[in-house]
Structure 1
Amino acid sequence: MGNQSEVRKNFGQRASNYRLSNTHGNPIDLERMVNLLKPQSDAIALDVATGGGHTAIALASCVNKVVAIDITPEMLAEAEVASKQSDINNIVVQIEDVHNLNFPDGQFDIVASRFAAHHFFDVKKAVREMCRVLKPGGKLYILDCSVFNGDETEKEINRIELLRDSSHQCSYSPRQWNHILNKLPLTIQYTSLLKEQYKLPQWFDRMGTSPKNQQEIFRILNNLSEDSKVLYHFGDDYITTYRYEILAIKV
Structure 2
Amino acid sequence: MDKYSNTKEFFSKNSENYAKSQSHAKDRDLDILMEMLSPQAGMIGLDAATGSGFTAIRLAKKIGKVYALDMVDNMLLETAKLAEENGLHNVFPVKGYVDSMPFENEKFDIVTCRRAAHHFDDKDEFASEAFRVLKANGMIGIDDMTVPDSIINDLNEVERIRDHSHMYAASTDGWIRILSRAGFTGLKYKVYSRRVSFEQWLYPVEINSPEGKKSLEYFQNARDEFLSSIQWDGKSFQKSWVVITGVKEIQ
Q: Deviations over 1:50-95 (max 9, x none)?
A: 1111001100011000000100000000011111111111101110
Report what 1:156 is aligned to.
Answer: 154
Give the TM-score, by structure 1 length: 0.92
Give the TM-score, by structure 2 length: 0.92
| Contact 1:50/1:69 (<8 A) preserved | yes
The change in CA–CA distance for 1:71 and 1:28 in structure 2 (over 3 A counts) is: same
The residue correspondences of 1:178-193 to structure 2 (distance < 5 A) are: 178-193=176-191
Report what 1:100 is aligned to.
Answer: 100
Report what 2:29 is aligned to.
Answer: 29
| Inter-partner Cα distance in structure 1 for 2:235 and 2:220 | 15
Q: Deviations over 1:7-63 (max 9, x none)?
A: 111001110111111121115333222221111211000000111110011000110
Report what 1:61 is aligned to.
Answer: 61
| Contact 2:67/2:93 (<8 A) preserved | yes
Cα drift, residue 208 of structure 1: 4.1
* Count of residue pairs brought into register by the alignment: 249
Q: Say yes or no: does 1:50 pair with 2:50.
A: yes
Q: Which runs of 5+ in 2 are unaligned?
A: none
| Contact 1:41/1:64 (<8 A) preserved | yes
Q: Which runs of 4+ in 1 moved over 4 A?
A: none
Structure 2 residue identity aligned to 1:234:
W
| Inter-partner Cα distance in structure 1 for 2:27 and 2:158 | 27
Cα drift, residue 198 of structure 1: 3.4
| Inter-partner Cα distance in structure 2 for 1:118 and 1:199 | 21
Report what 2:74 is aligned to.
Answer: 74
| Contact 1:12/1:73 (<8 A) preserved | yes
The change in CA–CA distance for 1:209 and 1:76 in structure 2 (over 3 A counts) is: farther
Report what 2:86 is aligned to.
Answer: 86
Q: Deviations over 1:138-197 (max 9, x none)?
A: 0100000112221xx121111100000000000111222222122222113311222233
Q: Deviations over 1:202-225 (max 9, x none)?
A: 432413466443333333333444
Percent identical residues: 28
Q: Supply the RMSD in Å over aligned alpha carbons.
A: 1.8
Q: Which runs of 5+ in 1 are unaligned?
A: none
